[in-house]
Structure 1
């Protein structure tokens, strides 16, 4: 086994299994927090909640089969249906989750608009319709994937006639358009936050805190997505341009490893990282997690723990105001 192949197996066995474990725990905590009464009144929180649910599926369907294939035969090499739908079921939910982050950035920008019509976009009822629309859209938009994969002589691979279309799509949609929209609307939301302060008849400090809570969490998540997918369009284009060209064994190994690193390993950092981004950048979110864990501990042990009740109450009020806005 070559050194790169050994590194790839080690990254899958230890790195991706860690992403799976930490990602599951983090997304479950996020779901628990965002399914409380207050967050459900906020459109941005609904987008984050839906993305967390999809991320659980993305991690499970994407990583568990990769771990299974380490010591066993890949089912796509002997199961025709699995060959056809495996990549389709991976890619469509990934794009749903990414699209929800884009819409969440648009939601925060719309909230700061001077137009009542645009501000009406930041409404929980609208958010529910948008979420349902995205979930219905991407299975239709990516229906070409089951068609493009062919099962021949114990192998499953994309039909060469679809390679150009896939390369163009990969570079434009998940590679450039998705992160571009995230950055644009996330940046506009941050720059226009002061407009909201002047419009709402609320304490200025509380407005600043509650808007920063969601916007900072969201924009930090955008930066992680951009960082983890920046190689994807370039490597995909490189693989297409070098397909069929004479290459040495080392070149083929490097090509395969780069494809794995950009198209498989890095892809799952974003679905796994949400909770850890939030607790890193938001003090209020850390306080809320601490409060929930203490509440859970008290319910399980029937012990009463009182730690900084006045401070905790004030921080919880700020977070609840953020969820309502």
Structure 2
């Protein structure tokens, strides 16, 4: 009798930890994610970034991030307060999982494309560098959205509402989904990101080596700096974006690793009988792993703030210059406080 009481007490403790961890973890991600995504949009829509193909992929990834934060995470927050739409409605069950799966893959794809773009930009082969153009990114961005929207349709048929729970419909589909998701998210995308990242770093080193051995190139850069500062700034933005993307790849791999390990474990043991204690521990591990995965979609802005001096500078200028007030008055100054002072020609 005492053993049963101890087990019940242990299960209650585990469930409480899981609920609180999920609730407050998701709340923090929800708040920081929305703030970061909106500030990301404000900075990346500035002229210096809008002309860059790499930043267009990063900007495109903000939309699926916002959908994940405001649909998937919001549903999960409500579930911790016993307001679970996915367990009460077949539509919300399938809709939430479809958005979660398709937008997660789409966001990661855009970051992968940003990495490929940096690889092409740093290549010594002209035909490869042609890929790093706005014209190309404007074609690929909607194409990627259409592809993942169609590929993810299988989630609508595989996800079911069984006994008041929104779960994978059968063991066979669960095995398929876990293997497919693990291979795609845990192997294919990280390997491609890492591969293109390493090759890009090699390209940058080769370019720097060539510059160091060619005095004429150095002389040209000095002249350009004096006569064409915008060209130098563009190059600087290119390399800042490269570093931002590489750090984001590292964070992606680090935060996805626990989820991949958990998916492999669940797939291997899916037909094994498990005790209530084992199931409770697995659910807690899944909650922790999933929260780590979701942080990918709210940390983009904060990664850029930490890794890019230019990004911080642009954000500071954006906030201090009160662009919204300027647009309201339409003449670049506030009539209540007089004309705005000139700040070294920066508008």
Q: TM bucket by the smaller chain?
A: 0.7 to 0.9
Query: Helix, strand or coil: the match of 2:46?
Result: coil
Partner of 1:166: 177
**Pairing 1:255-274 to 2, within 5 Å after superposition:** 255-262=282-289, 264-274=290-300
Partners of 1:171 and 1:210 lie apart in 2 by 34
Q: Would you say the 8 A contact 1:294–1:305 is kept in 2?
A: no
The alpha-carbon deviation at position 143 of structure 1 amounts to: 1.4
Secondary structure of the structure 1 residue equivalent to 2:144: helix
The reply to whether residue 283 of structure 1 matches residue 309 of structure 2 is: yes
- 1:97 paired residue number: 107
Question: Take 2:104 and 2:81, find their aligned partners in 1: how far apart are those partners?
Answer: 26
RMSD of aligned C-alpha atoms? 2.5
CA distance in 2: counterparts of 1:13 and 1:156, whole angstroms: 18
- Alignment match of 2:278 (pick from 230, 240, 251): 251
Is residue 16 from structure 1 mapped to residue 30 from structure 2 by the alignment?
Answer: no
Distance 2:308 2:22 in 1: 31
8 Å contact kept, 1:109–1:189: yes
Other-structure match for 2:320: 294
Counting only pairs closer than 5 Å after superposition, residues 1-325 of structure 1 correspond to structure 2 as 2-158=12-168, 159-196=170-207, 198=210, 202-203=221-222, 206=232, 209-262=236-289, 264-296=290-322, 299=325, 302=334
Question: Would you say how many aligned residue pairs link Structure 1 and Structure 2?
Answer: 311
Are the structure 2 counterparts of residues 240 and 306 from structure 1 closer, same or farther at C-alpha, using a change threshold of 3 Å?
farther
Distance apart, 1:73 and its partner CA: 4.0
**Native 8 Å contact 2:22 2:287 kept in 1:** no
Give the Cα–Cα distance (whole angstroms) in 1 for the partners of residues 340 and 313 of structure 2: 15
SS in 2 for 1:243: coil
Which 4+ stretches in 1 moved above 6 angstroms? 304-307
Q: Any gaps of 5 or more consecutive residues in structure 1?
A: 317-325
Q: 1:133 & 1:298 partners in 2: Cα distance?
A: 33
Question: How many angstroms does 1:297 deviate by?
Answer: 7.8
Alpha-carbon distance, 1:253 to partner: 0.9
Larger Rg: 2
Shift of 1:298: 9.1
1:192 is paired with a residue of what secondary structure?
helix
Contact 1:193 1:211 in 2 (8 A): no
- Counterparts of 1:306 and 1:173 in 2: how far apart (Å)? 53
Kept in 1, the 8 Å contact 2:179–2:267? The answer is no
The alpha carbon displacement at 1:30 in A equals: 0.9
Q: Distance in 2 between matches of 1:248 and 1:122?
A: 54
Ranges in structure 2 where 5+ consecutive residues have no aligned partner: 1-10, 212-216, 226-231, 327-332
Q: CA deviation at 1:194?
A: 4.2
Measured after TM superposition, the shift of residue 191 of structure 1 is 2.1
